[in-house]
Chains A and B, each alone.
Chain A
Amino acid sequence: MTPATAAAVPRLHTKARLQRDEVRGREVLLYPEGLVGLNPTGAEILGLCDGVRSFADIVATLERRYDVSGLERDVAAFLDGLAAKGLVLYGP
């Protein structure tokens, strides 16, 4: 179910797990037989995907935190990419 809508509540699929990768100094998303290396922004977005916040909430939180606007497209592109791999689900 992509792409993200404002009201959609993104959450990680239960098969995926966020993990610190100390050796390479980054966060990674681990899942069966695979992994995705994350940059700090990606890790922050996924950290906000708590199954409660809506997509619009997450964008607003990030924009407030960094005092910027117009993050919606970048956040949507990132989450839609993971949704296409079945790692992020959009719920009501």
Chain B
Amino acid sequence: MDPKPLWLLAELTYKCPLQCPYCSNPLDFAGPRFQRELSTAEWCRVFVEAKALGVLQLGLSGGEPTLRPDLEELVRNAHGLGLYTSLITSAYRLSKERLADLKAAGLDHVQISLQGADANLSDEIAGTASYRDKIAAYHYTRELGFPLTVNVVLHRRNLHQVEALIRLAESLGAERIELANTQFYGWALHNRDALMPTKAQLAAAWHVVERERARLGTALEIVWVLPDYHEQFPKPCMGGWARAYMTVTPAGEVWPCHAAGGITTLRFENVRDHPLDWIWEHSEAFNRFRGDAWMPEPCRSCPRKAQDFGGCRCQAFLVAGDAGVTDPVCSLSPHRHLIDAVLAGEREPAAWTYRAAPASRALAAKG
């Protein structure tokens, strides 16, 4: 059977009050490619087409999705279709009234980011004073009966706080905490030298995760997203290219993952020009790496290809310059030395560039 998508990530806007230097949004998010945001009616049509195509899980993300004044209407429409809707938010200035309205509209689940376990570090990493709003919003979600996920992107500057982060999520009554080691795309790739953790940091954090998982059982699910540069084999990125997942960007481009738009050798289609099912089934970008016929060696003859699908196409493009080669993270890849060179030696911590519109425009102008 042809694969049908289960997941849709709707990036409603790339505007965001936070400025996290690890943001996975495109470096040129403030440029012309993403300016003309989809209307309410266009998003609602996307949801109808997605449901008909097989989507069951909808993530409402960004940027900051609560900046869309029509968010409640979008949730109401998605809920009416039977989609399980998750709001993925920074919770900046998110009021209890707004969350109650979203609950009434049928929102199923709230995921709130956190940048560190205390206000000082969290606000420094976010580049915006937001910790207090986040803590308040965690309590609102509990009071309103939402299942809550706390999401933390981990890197050199906050890995030492993993225990405090887990304890905080526990005390807030969260169902899940996602400890997502930085994946290097978008702003995170640009800031890689400042964000890259040491092997010792990762080992210490993983030790805490194992211990806390044993202590907490199902009371708090701890998701640990692997730091793939430090692994021997690549991640099974998106469960395989164009197998179960798609992202629609603020201006309507459709990508097989939220970083794929960075592959400049692919042409991506727009929901303004084509129905979603056509894009999923027939567009060049979705078919280019679907299945395993595209695979070169060492993937082609590798027994792991059904497990990791050759790894990440974006990473192959960004690190090795060719989206069609084995993920350079793989120890069997002829490009693994490029990853090892990044990891080699202890670096002086570099300064990062905050994700913000002026920096985005400056970087885009530089090419």
Contact = CB atoms under 8 A, between A and B. Distances in A.
A and B are interacting partners: yes
Interface of A: 14-15, 17, 19-21, 23-24, 28, 30-33, 35, 84-86
Given A32-B149, A84-B218, A86-B221, A23 B52 contact: yes
Contact of B56 (A14, A35, A84): A35
B82 A15 contact: no
B6 to A, nearest CB: 7
B253 interface: no
Kindly state the interface size class of chain B when it binds its partner.
Answer: 20 to 34
A32 B145 contact: no
Contact of B149 (A17, A21, A33, A84): A33
Nearest to A32: B109
B54 A85 contact: no
Given A17-B84, A86-B221, 20 more contacts: A14-B145, A14-B147, A15-B108, A15-B109, A15-B147, A15-B175, A19-B84, A21-B54, A23-B52, A23-B53, A23-B54, A24-B4, A24-B54, A30-B57, A30-B84, A31-B84, A33-B149, A33-B176, A35-B6, A86-B175
A12 B221 CA distance: 17
B176 A32 contact: yes
Contacts of B176: 32-33
Nearest to B108: A17
B86 interface: yes
B84 A86 contact: no
B56 A28 contact: yes
A33 to B, nearest CB: 7
Contacts of A35: 6, 56-57, 84
Nearest to A23: B54
Nearest to B55: A23
